[in-house]
Structure 1
Amino acid sequence: MSGTLFPRERAVVAPGAVHVPGWLPVDRQRELVEACRSWARGPVPLRHTALPGGGVMSVQTVCVGWHWQPYRYSRTADDVNGARVAEFPDWLVDLGRRALVEAYGEDQGYSPAEYSPDTALINFYDGAARMGMHRDREERSGAPVVSLSIGDSCVFRFGNTETRGRPYTDVELASGDLFVFGGSSRFAYHGVPKVYAGTADPATGMSGGRLNITLRETGLPD
């Protein structure tokens, strides 16, 4: 959280899962906040996703490139307004590749130059929002997921590939943090059990709440 007395250390949370604190500078965070605000206005607006069982997610979501709904991707938001989602910009591909270089380096068994994310899921958490333990498995690609945090800090729970329960590791994600998970951790369960409301730095453009931007390769044909 803001006000930390000592620098937070980079950590390998699990094989292929890397936490890099403070990776995004404040000016870059502001740019991403403005981009997310633009996407949230449409063509498909920010919304609480309805679940097949009748529940509604507490986070609000907007998508770029491909539209996600439980539990598939499409080019049009048939569960919202039927509009085609915003195009995935080239600068997000570049950002994703730089994130992989930061997390894995150039010679760690995965070439960042081959990384071609084609969708971004942007989740907005207010102070009461949570995300249950789940796996990102709608993608046909096993390429890493790049996760960026802006605004309020949170507890990010990173688990195992077999069960929603233990063993898991709780990581504090603060504004500007990068978290990448791939390799044997690509399909690990993960979630957000707590958001620390009021910890956002207004210099990022966030007066409250948390933005989480995840970049993914869907592996789906155009």
Structure 2
Amino acid sequence: MFQVGTTNEEARREWIKNTLAKIPAGSKLLDAGAGECQYKPFCSHLEYISQDFAQYDGTGNVGLQMGTWDNTKLDIVSDILAIPLPDNSVDAIMCTEVFEHIPDPVGAIREFKRLLRPGGYLLLTAPFNSITHFAPYHFSTGFNRFFYEKHLPDNDFEITELTPNGSYFECVAQEVRRVKSVGKQYANTKISLLDKVILHSTLWVLQRLSKKDKGSSELLSYGIHVFARKK
């Protein structure tokens, strides 16, 4: 079976795990927009605090929805632009796959600046390109590297790592794999045998090109992984 278009979540999860391990033990970490706190197990060496606005419940009739969503594990329920913690009170902030759900992501960066102590760590991931999900709380389709390279330094952050996840070919393959479910939901049509052959052939082409990729992530990737420090 082709692996092209299947590595998004796994690669992101591994990067988050490895990056969290770089934060010194005992540091106070805020998981901003934590949702179901899926990355808390990687924070056993840290003092973990979770925050979210806790309004998404997993249901809706627009775009992709989770079906269910558990907001009961949160330590803080608040707007991400006004987190009730003192200035310079945390050593690290993690914000993963959240920026597309914030009407003002630059405002969130300013809030992270307020909360972090000098030298504090900021771990960010967000889609480069995303289809509608978690509606109605979906406000941006994605963020490329230039968003971070503009707004993080403008808010006194030094970027120490900026890594694309996947490539153009991987992203296209991810959407090709989604054709079956989207066709059923939005065209009320089952994929025929001929359709399956064509889609299979498309994935074969994309996997071949992905293996030869030389920088197509500058056009498109699953998302950008960013590690930064407050000056």
**Fold agreement, TM-score > 0.5:** no
Give the structure, 1 or 2, with the largest relative contact order (CA under 8 Å, sep 6 or more): 1
Structure whose residues are more often strand by fraction? 1
TM-score by length of 1: 0.27
